[in-house]
């Protein structure tokens, strides 16, 4: 027979989901660029306490300088105490060996991670915990932390990432074990729904108010872009191996009197591919910029691009940057991935030649920026949390 306390807890979970709860969030490093997980947790932190567990690696590191530097930082941060980085958001730096092919290493990681996370939970006095997993590597300890609910929030085809194939079994078990699975794209839904009947789509939101400031006329253009020749074709985001650098080269050559601006850090996997842009004078790689400054760069863009290659990873992607561009009122051109086709103001290039033509069209016939921004206003992160709460209210426990 269910005890009175358990009955009260169950009623609260159904009637007031994700309010007054303790939430574990397994995600990327908090210090990284704000991603969908960051925005969702910031909304949830208004009504809940969050223990954010920094990234458990999804792939084996390489011998590159960037990976070795990351390993050093991870080892150093492991000694740091749990800290409150924003109201109600506490960050834990866990230690784990980034390898999944060996049962012995997986077992070691399970023991070590469970011990670290449970200690942090005890120190924070966490009870009645919801485990929200965004990082599939955390599937190896999901259900071992005394959590009352497991939500797997899947936003990518993770095993299609370079070096991540060994995660397949861990992630598939997580799909099956979760009380609720949320995916961010139609293709993810079609590919994953057979694992768990309680699988649903919640597409990404956008930090609309932040990017809307690009239209207000009060932002000063950053010095490293202010004097570049127009038209400026802009990109912000991770310069990874899923970016079509050959397409970017063709854009730069076609718009030789203008500028192609790339904002973001280059991943280890893309370092060779991006060399195709070396020596092209109107390609400007400005590096990673603080999130707070991105709207100011958007002010200078004449058109924004999402130049993804077409593969299993990108076909299941829902690129957050496209909604951010639209919130800034920009004309947007993307390669042909399904999730951009649901966005009214995003032009789609079906191949390289068509992409270049679509950029020409966007430059020649720009829509009023305020109108473009207004049409994406309802896609807020607050609205996405309400969708999640609705799913958790209506599902049968």
For the whole prediction, is pTM greater than 0.85?
yes
Given a cut of 80, whether residue 14 has pLDDT beyond it is no
Do 301 and 174 belong to one domain?
A: no
DSSP of 158-188, one letter per residue? GGGSTT-GGGHHHHHHHHHH-SEEEESSHHH
For residue 51, name the pLDDT band (cuts at 50, 70, 90).
Answer: very high
Do 242 and 369 belong to one domain?
A: yes
Q: Which of 56-60, 66-70, 81-85 has the highest mean pLDDT?
A: 81-85
Do 182 and 269 belong to one domain?
A: no
Cα–Cα separations (whole angstroms), residue 71 to 67, 102, 109? 6, 20, 16
Do 153 and 291 belong to one domain?
A: no
Per the rule left: phi > 0, alpha: psi between -120 and 50, beta: everything else, 237 is: left
Task: Specify which residues 199 forms β-bridges with.
Answer: 181
DSSP of 299-315, one letter per residue? HH-SEEEE-B--SHHHH
Given a cut of 60, whether residue 196 has pLDDT beyond it is yes
Instruction: Provide the 10 A C-beta neighbour count for residue 353.
Output: 11
Cα–Cα separations (whole angstroms), residue 16 to 89, 131, 221, 230? 20, 16, 44, 52
Instruction: Provide the 10 A C-beta neighbour count for residue 372.
Output: 22
Do 195 and 328 belong to one domain?
A: no
Tally of structural domains, the chain: 2
Task: Specify which residues 380 forms β-bridges with.
Answer: 206
pLDDT of 67 reads: 41
- State whether the Cα torsion 117-123-126-127 is positive or negative: positive
* Residue ranges making up the domain that contains 313: 208-374
DSSP of 228-276, one letter per residue? SPSSEEEEES-B-TTB-HHHHHHHHHHTTTSEEEEESPBPGGGTTGGGG
What does the mean pLDDT of the chain come to? 90
For residue 126, name the pLDDT band (cuts at 50, 70, 90).
Answer: very high
Do 109 and 215 belong to one domain?
A: no
Q: Per-residue pLDDT averaged across 286-310, rounded?
A: 97
Do 35 and 82 belong to one domain?
A: yes
Is residue 257 packed enough to be buried (19+ CB in 10 Å), middle (13-18) or exposed (0-12)? exposed
Per the rule left: phi > 0, alpha: psi between -120 and 50, beta: everything else, 143 is: left
For residue 152, name the pLDDT band (cuts at 50, 70, 90).
Answer: very high
Cα–Cα separations (whole angstroms), residue 325 to 206, 212, 328? 10, 9, 5
CATH number for the domain including 291? 3.40.50.2000
pLDDT of 63 reads: 44
For residue 368, name the pLDDT band (cuts at 50, 70, 90).
Answer: very high
Reported as a single tens digit per residue, the pLDDT across 381-396 is: 999 999 999 999 875 4
pLDDT of 8 reads: 46
End-to-end CA distance of the chain: 16
Do 170 and 277 belong to one domain?
A: no
Do 247 and 156 belong to one domain?
A: no
Reported as a single tens digit per residue, the pLDDT across 229-260 is: 999 999 999 999 999 999 999 999 999 999 99
């Amino acid at each position: 027979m269910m005890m009175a306390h358990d009955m009260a807890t169950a009623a609260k979970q159904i009637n007031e989901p994700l309010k007054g709860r303790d939430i574990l969030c397994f995600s990327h490093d908090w210090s990284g660029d704000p991603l969908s997980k960051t925005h969702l947790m910031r909304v949830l932190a208004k009504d809940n306490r969050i223990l954010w567990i920094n990234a458990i690696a999804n792939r084996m590191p390489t011998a590159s300088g960037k990976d070795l530097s990351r390993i050093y930082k991870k080892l150093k941060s492991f000694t740091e105490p749990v800290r409150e980085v924003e109201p109600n958001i506490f960050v834990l730096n866990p230690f784990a060996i980034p390898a999944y092919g060996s049962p012995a290493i997986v077992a070691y990681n399970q023991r070590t991670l469970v011990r670290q996370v449970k200690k942090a939970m005890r120190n924070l006095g966490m009870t009645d915990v919801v485990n929200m997993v965004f990082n599939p590597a955390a599937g190896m300890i999901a259900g071992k932390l005394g959590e009352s609910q497991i939500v797997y929030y899947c936003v990518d085809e993770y095993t299609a990432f370079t070096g991540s194939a060994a995660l397949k079994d861990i992630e598939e078990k997580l799909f099956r074990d979760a009380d609720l699975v949320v995916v961010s794209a139609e293709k993810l839904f079609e590919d994953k729904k057979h694992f768990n009947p309680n699988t649903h789509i919640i597409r990404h939101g956008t930090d609309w108010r932040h990017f809307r400031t690009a239209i207000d006329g009060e932002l000063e253009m950053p010095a490293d872009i202010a004097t570049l020749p127009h038209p400026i074709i802009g990109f912000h985001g991770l310069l990874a191996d899923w970016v079509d650098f050959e397409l970017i080269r063709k854009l730069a050559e076609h718009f030789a009197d203008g500028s192609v601006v790339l904002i973001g850090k280059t991943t280890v996997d893309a370092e060779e591919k991006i060399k195709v842009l070396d020596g092209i004078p109107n390609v400007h790689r400005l590096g990673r910029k603080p999130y707070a400054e991105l709207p100011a760069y958007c002010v200078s863009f004449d058109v924004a691009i999402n130049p993804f290659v077409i593969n299993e990873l990108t076909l299941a992607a829902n690129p957050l940057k496209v909604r951010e561009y639209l919130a800034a009122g920009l004309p947007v051109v993307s390669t042909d991935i399904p999730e951009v086709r649901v966005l009214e103001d995003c032009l789609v290039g079906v191949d390289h030649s068509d992409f270049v033509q679509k950029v020409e069209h966007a430059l020649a016939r720009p829509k009023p920026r305020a109108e473009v921004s207004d049409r994406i206003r309802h896609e807020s992160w607050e609205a996405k949390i309400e969708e999640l709460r609705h799913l958790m209210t209506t599902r049968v426990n």
